[in-house]
Amino acid sequence: MSVDYAPSLVAIIFGIAFACVFLGLAIFLGPKREDPEKLAPFECGSEPIGSPRVRFSVKFYQVAILFLIFDVESAFLYPWAALFRKLSCIGVVAGTQCLGTVTWFGFVEMLVFVSTLVVALTYVWRKRAIGWG
């Protein structure tokens, strides 16, 4: 079945155009007056002390990466949920009704995907990488 990609193309173009127009407006119409005091870092009105380039504890990086992994995982659920009816139905799908036989394929497929990540989650949990202690 030929899937017509035109609408999504228009949406992408519109999105990019929308962003560029507003950024462009800000850049071209906004007045520019840079001077050293304006570009100094803002520290609630005080003289900036210390340098922002300081070695951070690795905890921050760890928590960020772990969040990224499980966030991307949940991103995969969306397309799966959209196609769930098609996946678990051999035969024609009429709107919300599956005319052919209903199988467990869709569900099992996602179960495998999620369970591998649950294994990763338990490992991370046991190593206390998530906790902030």
Q: Which of 69, 133, 81, 132 is nearest to 109 (CA)?
A: 81
Q: What is the DSSP letter of 99?
A: -
- 86 vs 103: CA distance, rounded Å: 10
Nearer to other proteins, 51 or 101 (CB): 51
Does residue 124 contact residue 67 with C-beta atoms inside 8 Å?
no
Nearer to other proteins, 52 or 95 (CB): 52
Please give the helix or strand (H or E) that residue 97 lies within, else none.
strand 97-98
CB of residue 59 to other proteins, shortest distance in Å: 7
CB of residue 92 to other proteins, shortest distance in Å: 48
CB of residue 61 to other proteins, shortest distance in Å: 11
In DSSP terms, 104 is beta-bridged to none
Nearer to other proteins, 1 or 58 (CB): 58
What does the binding site for other proteins look like in residue numbers (CB under 8 A)? Answer: 29-33, 35, 37-38, 40, 42-60, 132
CB of residue 105 to other proteins, shortest distance in Å: 40
Give CA 48 to chain center in angstroms: 34
Nearer to other proteins, 3 or 33 (CB): 33
